[in-house]
Amino acid sequence: MKYEMLQFEIQDNVAWITLNRPKAFNAINLQAVKELCDVANRCGSDKSVRAAVITGAGDKAFCAGGDVADFAANSERIEILVKEMTGALHVAISRFAWMNAPLIGAYNGVVAGGGLGLALACDLAIAAEHAKFTSAYTHIGYTPDGSSTYFLSRLLGRRRAMELFLTNRTLSAQEALDWGLVNRVVPAAELMAEAKKLALQLAQGPTRAHGGIKKLLNLAPTETLESQMERETRFIAESGSSADGLEGARAFVEKRKPKFVGQ
Active site residues: 90, 145
Q: Are 120 and 211 in contact (CB under 8 A)?
A: no
Which candidate, 13, 19, 187, places its Cα nearest to that of 102?
13
Extract long-range pairs of 246-252: CB within 8 Å, 24+ residues apart. 248/206
Sign of CA dihedral 210, 242, 261, 97: negative
Which candidate, 87, 78, 90, places its Cα nearest to that of 141?
78
> Cα-flanking dihedrals φ and ψ of residue 49, to 5°?
-85, 110
